[in-house]
Chains A and B, each alone.
Chain A
Amino acid sequence: AQSVTQLGSHVSVSEGALVLLRCNYSSSVPPYLFWYVQYPNQGLQLLLKYTSAATLVKGINGFEAEFKKSETSFHLTKPSAHMSDAAEYFCAVSEDGNKLVFGAGTILRVKS
């Protein structure tokens, strides 16, 4: 069975600081991995996805994530946080690229 663990339900960073949101997964087959962002009162928006091509995946808004098979991790990073990055972020895994299993989410707070 697939599962996703997001370490830290809340992460707080200063504006301009590095953003690191952690995601570990379990999957019995090579997984598809996703990061979504949810702003208040809006639907989830895809930030990036890993589909067995390059292990370092670049997404929208300056975010990127690195697939590390040995660590079963897919952590999300951004070099410099902006106030507009404040939102909730979800990591998700899929075995077929379609049916998603989500982590519990991490709320990112950006301090000025």
Chain B
Amino acid sequence: GAVVSQHPSWVICKSGTSVKIECRSLDFQATTMFWYRQFPKQSLMLMATSNEGSKATYEQGVEKDKFLINHASLTLSTLTVTSAHPEDSSFYICSASSVVGLSHEQFFGPGTRLTVL
């Protein structure tokens, strides 16, 4: 089956620093990748949609300059949390979309837990 990896699986950083999270589709090409954020005991909230070679589309309320998304190839998207603060601590999940049969299907990465001290 289609596999999506994320790196790192967890990261701890100091307030004010930037953190980059990678999302890779290992065995398929994904024209579209999605980035989600999941708070404890809450659901996944879509942050942005990323299409290869173009600018990401951010959901309402998500700061573009805070969460930089790059989708430079069909197998790699990155999310950079700039000038991280404790309130950015969360579980970040990516997914990669592929056409299965006649419809799209999203394949999810295992997530990255970010803790900002």
A contact set with B: CB distance below 8 Å: 9, 32, 36, 41-46, 49, 51, 90, 97-105
Main SS of chain A's interface residues? loop
CB distance from B46 to the nearest CB of A (A): 7
Residues of A within 8 A of B106 (CB): 46, 98, 100
14 further A-B pairs in the complex, CB-CB below 8 A; given A32-B103, A44-B95? A9-B41, A42-B110, A46-B105, A90-B44, A97-B103, A98-B32, A98-B97, A98-B104, A99-B49, A100-B34, A100-B44, A101-B46, A103-B43, A105-B43
Q: Which chain B residues lie closer than 8 Å to A43 at the CB level? A: 4, 93, 95, 107-111
Establish whether residues B43 and A99, one from each chain, have CB atoms under 8 Å apart when the complex forms. Answer: no
> Is residue B54 contacting chain A, with contact meaning CB distance below 8 A?
no
For the residues of B in contact with A, the DSSP-based class is: strand
The answer to whether A90 touches B43, judged by C-beta atoms less than 8 angstroms apart, is: yes
Write out, one digit per residue, whether chain B residues 1-27 have a CB within 8 A of any chain A CB (1) or not (0): 000100000000000000000000000
